[in-house]
Structure 1
Amino acid sequence: MAELHPFPAILFQPETGCDVTPFVAPPYDVIDSTAEAVLRDRHPSNVVRLTLPEAPLGGDRYQEAERLFNDWLHSGVLRLLGTPALYLWEQEFSLGDTTYTRRALAAKVTCEPYRPGGVMRHEHTHAGPKADRLRLFQATGAQFSQIFGIFKGDEELVARLAAAANHEPLQTARGDDGHHSRLFGITDEETIITLQASLQGHTITIADGHHRYETSVAYYQELGRPGSTLMTLVPSNDAGLVVLPTHRTVDFPIDDQALCQALAGEFAVEAHPLENWPRLYQEAASNPERGIILAAAPAADRVFHIGWQEENGSAARPGKPGRELGDVVVLHERILPHFTAAGHLDTATFGYFHDAEDAVEAAKATGQWAFLLRPTSIRALLQAAEHHEVLPPKSTYFFPKFLAGFINARLD
């Protein structure tokens, strides 16, 4: 089973105060070249120089990360805390008119292949990113980004985490997305034992960081010994656990008449003028019974609302009784296969958008279709992991991201 261990964190040390904003960055895999340049210019010791190292004059980029990491430790830019601890990472952020607080427990977690009662996944990984992260692990012997995990929590545990923020934070930071992060150390032995016991036997489902987790497993397998990896763990009932939708465009042609005919047996398809898509999307997003997906076809100047046939309501969705099927699963498993050769979606090219209007505008510019989705629920995510299922790409977008460099750790 997954076991939690306290550890001495490695933290950036500003010259004054506890604000480490100049030193932190988003996770490496969401940073484009423009953002990377901004982060490098922000501070000569920004963590992006470790997570996306550059090779000097044709040298080895991983050795450069090792050199910088050791230099920063020796010069005091980074400091290793003296006492092993668990840590509360608190993030405050706003969406629309609502302010949320998400609380995560940062700990070292036993690192082993996926299995129930331990750590489970919900998406596929790729060899290239894992090979890259493994070389970085081998060079530095440290982690600068953590793996984001979810576990089934209860109100008592959520309250216990909130109570840990009863003193001054070790450090703070502000993300470029506007969120505020605060880090608190938990060193009281009784509290640590209670938190460890609270998670005993719980399955941890990876929300973000599958490549980093599998790289951690490979790292210790190469060493031939057990180890642990840095994770931030959020209870599934945390009020700040927010998932946003990822809309998508597709590059293969779909005839609107063929769409209605192909889906008629299982879905109710309604056509509306394209200009009505914002109202229809708002209705679908706020009313689970209203439907599933909007398919915008700018070339036809129409938008199609795709919902379950009344007799195929949520309790009777074929193949997975009692299971919640998120919009992205319905799209990839039940709708799009009608329009690809032999149902193979690997021949399609998708565009991904967090803003529905951006997706519609992209479809207008290219003549493609845009599919506007509701977010994948936490329940659907946990069910998929529990049944050893892998969701389609970009099924979840957790907001905000956990900052790289905000809490760092040695690999065992």
Structure 2
Amino acid sequence: MVDVYPLKALRFSERFKKEIPDLISPPYDIISDSQKEELKKLNANNIVKLILPEKKDDRSSYENASDLLNEMLEENILEHDIQESFYIFEEHFYDEGTWKSFKSFIGLNKIEEYDSSKVLRHEYTLSKPKEDRLNLLRHTNTNFGLIYTLYDDADNEIQKILDEGTLSEPLYDFKAKYDPNLRFRIWRLSEKDKLKRIRELMKNKKILIADGHHRYETSRLFMHEIYEKRNKKDLNTPPVSFETTDQTIFPEEAVLTLFVNYNQENIKILPTHRMIKFKEKFNLNNYLEKIEKYFFLEEYSRVFKSKPSFTNEPVLIKNLTDFMNDKKNEKKHSFCLIDSKQKIFFITLKKEICELYPDLDESDYDFENLDVRILHRLLIDEILNDNDADTIHYTHTFNDLVSKVVSADTEYDLGIILNAPEISDVQKISAKGKLMPQKSTYFYPKPCSGLIMYKMDL
């Protein structure tokens, strides 16, 4: 049973409604140092100051976040809604020459242990980001951003409620200043019968964490820390009661969550390409010789009857895109290799995974069949085992990879382009309790931070 609850959200005061595009930010983990500075320039109260705080005088960055949050509450810059609500969230994004959108809703999700089979994860987490987010949570008791989750609503029962809720004027409707290709719309859903109905419909579902694994794990650890304080009688704040249910939960038992019906058309996963710098001198010809044991090899000039033109990037990108899409549609495991000397090769796996690894357990097939797994197991770990990668950087666009790998002052030896997994791949693997390699998925667009927030009364 998945327990979801409405909340009295923490939001920027109504007097800042027109400034909302200047006050929000992307999720903390995709904000570069330069973008952070740009966000701070947009507005003195931009949420980036809370989610990526800085040291100030003798105060640590986390203490500074706590101080700033308290100031914003005291000055009514941030205020709590009066009514319990779910918040309908509609994300619009410009993609492939057209605007696309999908609907979701924001609420509280009761934190579950991973072995409960109610909340599924699909990626490993790293200790350093968890410690950072845990320190911020300890000092602020606030979720500033959203855990992005997927659920199955094939009959559109919840979707119909959300659609009806968007017939009225939205609470917010604006384009993001940090990315003009994003538009966000929010409605408040407060009718008790609809809140109850959504809660009932969600009870028999499972949710899959699409993005926000570190934040979910942080919230789970924080919950156990608070439990310990309660057991020692160091904390005795009361549980939270709700108007739409007799159930109560302690504030720390819930995390702010975005619930997305994955049956919608425009749920998008971007590929995560690799840009590699090797410890030793890299020789592409030697690498290609080893690759041919497992892969068919095709040079760009033979496929497209012309050499790759890096001065005509749009044509080059289109050719790369078309080739990779065609191979994906053919259910082939294909990759594109680009080296710093402007050579491009396409490679396609010769055998099926079950032929390549005849002793493979059937339960591992979906995992080993992932392009990102093949990339790391074969192209990096096995074939390159005598020349370890010194650094691997990631990008989600062909344009970025091409421009960085072949630039005159490039720091990379090799770029590897791969196709993104399908949502069905992620579902199958997570349902078996298996985890995908780091940087396997990049769900797009990501929800913004600072629009709807959850402050725990601790």
For normalisation by structure 1, the TM-score amounts to 0.90
Maintained 8 Å contact 2:327/2:334: no
2:431 alignment partner in structure 1: 386
Matched residues in 1 for 2:174 and 2:71: separation? 23
- How many residues are matched? 407
Matched residues in 2 for 1:337 and 1:61: separation? 39
Please say if 1:154 is aligned against 2:154. yes
Matched residues in 1 for 2:74 and 2:380: separation? 55
Distance apart, 1:6 and its partner CA: 1.0
Q: Which moved more, 1:75-84 or 1:331-340?
A: 331-340
AA matched with 2:374: V
1:220 alignment partner in structure 2: 223
- For the residue of structure 2 that corresponds to 1:58, the secondary structure is coil
Matches within 5 A, 1:178-193: 178=180, 179-193=182-196
Maintained 8 Å contact 1:19/1:173: no
Distance apart, 1:231 and its partner CA: 0.6
2:170 alignment partner in structure 1: 169
Matched residues in 2 for 1:369 and 1:48: separation? 34
Please say if 1:239 is aligned against 2:255. no
For normalisation by structure 2, the TM-score amounts to 0.81
- For the residue of structure 1 that corresponds to 2:100, the secondary structure is strand
Matched residues in 2 for 1:57 and 1:132: separation? 20
Matched residues in 2 for 1:177 and 1:101: separation? 15
Q: Name segments (4+ residues, structure 1) moved above 6 Å.
A: 314-317
AA matched with 1:158: Q
**Residues 291, 137 of structure 1: alpha-carbon distance in 2 compared, 3 angstrom cutoff:** closer
Distance apart, 1:376 and its partner CA: 2.1
Maintained 8 Å contact 2:274/2:415: yes
Aligned-pair identity in percent equals 24
Could you tell me which of 392, 400, 410 is aligned with 1:350?
Answer: 392
RMSD over aligned Cα atoms: 2.6
Could you tell me which of 325, 333, 336 is aligned with 2:380?
Answer: 336
Matched residues in 1 for 2:412 and 2:92: separation? 39
Distance apart, 1:260 and its partner CA: 4.2
- For the residue of structure 1 that corresponds to 2:170, the secondary structure is coil
AA matched with 1:142: T
Please say if 1:376 is aligned against 2:421. yes
Matched residues in 2 for 1:256 and 1:34: separation? 34
2:455 alignment partner in structure 1: 410
Distance apart, 1:355 and its partner CA: 2.1
**Residues 222, 366 of structure 1: alpha-carbon distance in 2 compared, 3 angstrom cutoff:** closer
Matched residues in 2 for 1:119 and 1:37: separation? 36
Matched residues in 2 for 1:367 and 1:132: separation? 29
Maintained 8 Å contact 2:291/2:383: no
AA matched with 1:128: K
AA matched with 2:213: H
Maintained 8 Å contact 1:25/1:404: yes
Matched residues in 2 for 1:219 and 1:173: separation? 34
- For the residue of structure 1 that corresponds to 2:114, the secondary structure is coil
Larger Rg: 2
1:397 alignment partner in structure 2: 442
Matches within 5 A, 1:5-404: 5-15=5-15, 17=17, 20-156=20-156, 157-175=158-176, 176-178=178-180, 179-224=182-227, 227-252=253-278, 255-273=283-301, 275=308, 278=317, 279-288=319-328, 289=330, 291-299=333-341, 301-309=342-350, 312=352, 318=357, 319=360, 323=366, 325-341=369-385, 348-364=390-406, 365-366=410-411, 368-404=413-449
2:246 alignment partner in structure 1: none
2:233 alignment partner in structure 1: none
- 1:165-205 Cα deviation digits (max 9, x unpaired): 12122223422222111111111222122222222232222
Maintained 8 Å contact 1:247/1:352: yes
Structure 2: 5+ residue runs without aligned partners?
A: 231-249, 302-306, 310-315
- For the residue of structure 2 that corresponds to 1:379, the secondary structure is helix
Structure 1: 5+ residue runs without aligned partners?
A: none
Matched residues in 2 for 1:259 and 1:342: separation? 11
Distance apart, 1:54 and its partner CA: 2.2
Distance apart, 1:164 and its partner CA: 2.1
Matched residues in 2 for 1:43 and 1:390: separation? 39
**Residues 316, 91 of structure 1: alpha-carbon distance in 2 compared, 3 angstrom cutoff:** farther
**Residues 56, 112 of structure 1: alpha-carbon distance in 2 compared, 3 angstrom cutoff:** same
Matched residues in 1 for 2:339 and 2:456: separation? 50
Maintained 8 Å contact 1:251/1:368: yes
- 1:214-246 Cα deviation digits (max 9, x unpaired): 110111101117611111011111223111122
AA matched with 2:209: I
